[in-house]
Amino acid sequence: MKTLLKNVSLRGKIVDVLIEGNRFKKICEKIEEPVDKIIKCDGKAIEPAFYNCHTHISMTLLKGLADDKELHNWLIQDIWPREEKMVPKDIYYASKFAILEMIKGGTVFCNDMYQYGEETMKAIDEMGIRGVVSKPEIDIPTPDLLEKKKKIVEDFAKYPNINEQRIIKGMSCHAVYTVSEEFLKFYLKVATENNMPIHIHACETKVEVDNCKKKHGCTPIEYLEKIGLLTNKTILAHCVHLTDNDIQIIKKHGTKIAHCPVSNFKLKSGLMAFQKLNDAGILVTLGTDGSASNNSLGMLEEMKVCALNAKTQANSSKAGNVNDIYKTATENGAKAFGIDAGVIEEGKLADFVLYDLNHYLLLPNYNLISNIVYSAQNECITDVFCDGKQLMCDRKVKGEEKIIEDFKKLAEKFKNIK
Residues at the contact surface with Zn ion, assessed by CB under 5 A: 289
**Rounded-to-integer distance, Cα 229 and Cα 123, Å:** 29
Sequence-distant (6+) residues with CB within 8 A of 217 are: none
Q: Are 118 and 152 in contact (CB under 8 A)?
A: no
Bond into 141 cis (ω within 30): yes
- Give least dist CB 309 to Zn ion, A: 17
| Nearer to Zn ion among residue 174 and residue 304 (C-beta) | 174
User: Which among 32, 2, 1, 37 has a CA at the least distance from the CA of 16?
Assistant: 32
Find the residue with minimal CB distance to Zn ion. 289
| Nearer to Zn ion among residue 76 and residue 363 (C-beta) | 76
Question: How many Å separate Cα 84 from the centre of its chain?
Answer: 24
- Give least dist CB 298 to Zn ion, A: 16
- Give least dist CB 42 to Zn ion, A: 41
Alpha helices in 62-180 (DSSP H): 71-73, 80-83, 88-104, 117-127, 146-158
| Nearer to Zn ion among residue 111 and residue 330 (C-beta) | 111
- Give least dist CB 316 to Zn ion, A: 28
Question: How many Å separate Cα 101 from the centre of its chain?
Answer: 13
- Give least dist CB 54 to Zn ion, A: 6
| Nearer to Zn ion among residue 16 and residue 289 (C-beta) | 289
**Rounded-to-integer distance, Cα 298 and Cα 63, Å:** 14
- Give least dist CB 84 to Zn ion, A: 18
- Give least dist CB 289 to Zn ion, A: 5
Contacts 24+ apart (CB under 8 A), 119-123: 119/88, 119/89, 119/91, 119/92, 119/95, 120/57, 120/58, 120/91, 120/92, 120/95, 121/161, 121/162, 121/163, 121/167, 121/169, 122/92, 122/95, 122/162, 123/92, 123/95, 123/96, 123/99
| Nearer to Zn ion among residue 277 and residue 362 (C-beta) | 277
Write the DSSP string, 29-40.
S---S--SEEEE
| Nearer to Zn ion among residue 289 and residue 324 (C-beta) | 289
| Nearer to Zn ion among residue 116 and residue 352 (C-beta) | 116
